[in-house]
Amino acid sequence: MGNEKPELIPVPIWRCKNKECKSWVRAELASSANPECPICKGPMGRSMKHLPKLVKKHKAPRKKKEESMW
């Protein structure tokens, strides 16, 4: 009845080094190659976390405007 748990896989993440801050972000979604914490702006370090696989939804291509902007 919908109690199926998603399969967890090891995922590289960036974790805030500030012990009071619990912030983390998937490495593939990080804002830069060496991101700062989005919450406290402190330094972040690489780590691993077991997370559900990210499902990338397919977006329909945008329609081009018929009129040129020029």
pLDDT at residue 50, as a whole number: 95
Model-level pTM?
Answer: 0.67
Q: Is the pLDDT of residue 22 over 70?
A: yes
Average pLDDT for 36-47: 95
Contacts of residue 19, defined as CB under 8 A and 6 or more positions apart, other chains included, come to none
Q: Is the pLDDT of residue 70 over 80?
A: no
Average pLDDT for 11-21: 96
Give me 30's structure tokens: 């990080």
CA–CA distance, 3 with 66 (Å, rounded to integer): 48
Q: Is the pLDDT of residue 56 over 90?
A: no
Average pLDDT for 59-70: 61
36, burial (CB in 10 Å: exposed 0-12, middle 13-18, buried 19+): middle
